[in-house]
Structure 1
Amino acid sequence: MKVSSITLKVIKAPLKQPFKTHLETVTDREAIIVEAKDKDGLIGYGEAVPFTSPWYTEETIKTCYHMLEDFLIPLTLTSPLQHPGELQGLWRGIRRNAMAKSALEQAIFDLYAKQNETYLGRLFGGERREVAAGVVIASNNVEEAMRQIDGFSGSGYRRYKIKIDPLHDIEFLSHIRDAFPDIPLMADANSAYTLDDIAHLQKLDEYKLMMIEQPLGHDDIVEHSRLQSKLQTPICLDESINSYHDASSALTLGSCGVINIKMAKVGGWTEAVRIHDLCAENDVPVWCGGMIEFGISRAHNIALATLKGFTIPGDISSSSRYWEGDIIDPEVVVKDGLIQVPEKAGIGFSINEKRLKALTTYSQMYR
């Protein structure tokens, strides 16, 4: 499959409301849209989703653009390519930089699926016709958090995720459980705790959480194994799962009961599917994590979530959760807690070119 050109577009849009964690408050979101075109004019789309500053991962918009422009795109355009599955081998001399790799691999897999007139998820054995959706409640005010839950309840989301930290977790969870005793609820700690907090974390067992996501260090696997043995609530690893090797190590050590697979963070389709298959073999449930994405990344996540191992609702909310207008057509809609999987080839969505152009702050084509 010959890729004739690759275009990078930097886009930026304000969030409808700030996304707040104890690490950072996000009010505007940038991303890099990758367009891979073949000689017949077909275009595959990917989306790079690092943040503007390195508060979540070491990658940023600037470093990601640099890796794409100066390393990944030149290698890809000058190397013979029969199948997108060859890309990870082609890029083996470039360490890490997972979000840059993911975006370009997404675009080329989308192009390949369109060339073969196949929905992208079907290339990897995805069978679901609808995927269950969860939503993130990101506020440091418990009254606002409960208003958000109440507002999202009309869409029937199948799982609600609350951001917690040691200073406010009991207050948040007790108020929310009193108001919403039956909702599927999980807590995301974003590495806010240490092993000194074991006794405190054990108190959270009473709130019947689906899981506690990444309570300890963002790069830790070993200490989580010690903590998991002390908790009834399953631990979900997120930030510390950046590769198949990380996932394998976590399962070997018993560090978690659930894994959150973020395609962008593990380097793309190839590695995400390998982790999914590993977890399925070990009867460990997985779900598809989100990164406050625009519609292209969201479309790839929907396709990934059609695989059988994704038994927990993912962070794949409606486009309207974050945006006044998304860059795909139709926009993603959650109804009765479900998203209908598209049937069209590739990512299954068209691009809203007018909206994409309006959000683009810089564009460059490479041949």
Structure 2
Amino acid sequence: MQKEEILKLPISYKNIRLIRLNLPQKEQFVSGIGVRNSRKALIIEWEDDNGTKGYGECSCRPDPYYSDEFIEGAIALVNQFIVPFLKQNQTFGDLLKLLDKIRGWNFTKAAVEMAALQVIEQNTGKSPFQLLQNKPLAHVPVGISLGLYTDVDRMKKVVKNALETGYKRLKFKISPKVRVDFFEEINPMLFEADTFVSFDANGSFGENDLDIFHYFANTYQSMIEQPFAPTRFDILSKVKKEHPEIYICYDEEIKSIGDLIKLHHLGMLDEVNLKVGRVGGVMKSIEIIQYCAEHNIPCWIGGMFETGIGRTLNLRMASYLPNARAHDLSPSDRYFLEDIVQPNVQMNNGLVNMESLKNCTIQPNLIDKYTIDQKTLTRIC
């Protein structure tokens, strides 16, 4: 299938429903961004003229602390700058042109695209995933993201459980305030295990925090994700020039194919954490995956603690990356007391069986249970 064929696929519009959810977590999660006790999410339901429904999840946070998007702003964007310009009938390419006209707001645009693509695939059996050359994996390797800890015994217990569960990667959240002595205590567990270990700073390090940064870079000789704020390329450039051996994974810097190509041409690109929402959706992600494949750039799929709606999409994308060590896509029961898809996204010894995802269906009763607000935008004519 060619890209032009995908762009010509029809999509009609009858209703768009904006659903705000609040999904309770099993336990508190702490990172360099802040503390989270539940997943506050925006779900977009697209209904066409035939009554076919598709769902997309806006992966932005409720606050503008990870990116400049936030849920209330996303709702306003869809309400004011997307829905009023939809036609009763259009092509998928027409929809992308409408979304591309909007600068930024990638998480929001990705959710709209995802909802429309679900409708298109149900109606035609065709999907942009058919543009990818690799045969999808039957089993996708996944890792676990571990937060910041204030209790070393709790940290040891969580690490021990993660290793025994079989995750293919343990990724620790770190910040300038991280307890290095805690890592000194768990290092025997990490060094003895046959599990890849990496770190994620969520852009929390600055010029005055490099001693702690170098501790992790030198002790583990492993990937450090997003050590500096995406606006502080000067610090990143300085550190890479002084210590070219440091291996950095990019996350928030890459919001488009242009960002990726820029970093690659500057010789600064070691690895890419690709978040489908952050780059604007499935079509944009496929473009980045193809570039990474052509230039031998390691790439894997990251998550934003999505519900099963976004999680299954991310895993589908991950299945087309056969060389990735692991993806940040832990199963639903790792985070939520109850997901909105059933059965939950499940894992066995660090692997998600992609065949099992075909049975994951959205449960309207669970969406209703965790809905805190909703609004239906209906076509007037």
TM-score (norm 2): 0.88
Alignment RMSD: 2.3
Query: Structure 1 counterpart of 2:141, which letter?
Result: A
Query: Structure 2 counterpart of 1:192, which letter?
Result: S
Q: Which residue of structure 2 aligns with residue 299 of structure 1?
A: 312
1:351 deviates by 0.5
Q: Do residues 108 (structure 1) and 116 (structure 2) align?
A: yes
Q: Which residue of structure 2 aligns with residue 265 of structure 1?
A: 278
Give 3-state SS (helix, strand or coil) of 1:265's partner: coil
**Structure 1 residues 329, 120: closer, same or farther in 2, change over 3 A?**
farther
User: C-alpha separation between the residues in 2 aligned to 1:341 and 1:190?
Assistant: 29
Q: Do residues 353 (structure 1) and 364 (structure 2) align?
A: yes
**Structure 1 residues 306, 342: closer, same or farther in 2, change over 3 A?**
same
Give 3-state SS (helix, strand or coil) of 1:139's partner: coil
Q: Do residues 166 (structure 1) and 179 (structure 2) align?
A: no
Q: Do residues 93 (structure 1) and 78 (structure 2) align?
A: no
Please list the CA deviations of residues 82-113 of structure 1 after superposition, one character each: whole Å capped at 9, or x if unmatched.
Answer: 23x54332223211011110110111112222
Please list the CA deviations of residues 162-205 of structure 1 after superposition, one character each: whole Å capped at 9, or x if unmatched.
Answer: 01122326334333322221331101111122345445533323
Q: Percent identity?
A: 26
Q: Do residues 175 (structure 1) and 185 (structure 2) align?
A: yes
2:157 pairs with one of 125, 141, 147: 147
Q: Do residues 133 (structure 1) and 142 (structure 2) align?
A: yes
1:334-353 matches, within 5 Å, as 334-342=347-355, 349-353=360-364
Q: Report how many residues are paired.
A: 363
**Is the CA contact 1:10–1:30 (under 8 Å) kept in the aligned structure 2?**
yes
Please list the CA deviations of residues 226-274 of structure 1 after superposition, one character each: whole Å capped at 9, or x if unmatched.
Answer: 3234153410011111111111111111223111011111111111111
**Is the CA contact 1:221–1:250 (under 8 Å) kept in the aligned structure 2?**
no
User: C-alpha separation between the residues in 1 aligned to 2:363 and 2:248?
Assistant: 39
Give 3-state SS (helix, strand or coil) of 1:264's partner: coil
Q: Which residue of structure 1 aligns with residue 373 of structure 2?
A: 362
1:366 deviates by 1.9
Q: Which residue of structure 2 aligns with residue 207 of structure 1?
A: 219
1:48 deviates by 0.8
1:209 deviates by 4.5
**Structure 1 residues 246, 120: closer, same or farther in 2, change over 3 A?**
closer
Q: Which residue of structure 2 aligns with residue 189 of structure 1?
A: 201
**Is the CA contact 1:266–1:272 (under 8 Å) kept in the aligned structure 2?**
yes
TM-score (norm 1): 0.91
User: C-alpha separation between the residues in 1 aligned to 2:122 and 2:240?
Assistant: 43
1:129 deviates by 1.5
Structure 2's unaligned 5+ residue stretches are 1-9
**Structure 1 residues 28, 280: closer, same or farther in 2, change over 3 A?**
same
2:60 pairs with one of 50, 73, 76: 50
**Is the CA contact 1:11–1:361 (under 8 Å) kept in the aligned structure 2?**
yes
User: C-alpha separation between the residues in 2 aligned to 1:284 and 1:222?
Assistant: 22
User: C-alpha separation between the residues in 2 aligned to 1:295 and 1:120?
Assistant: 20
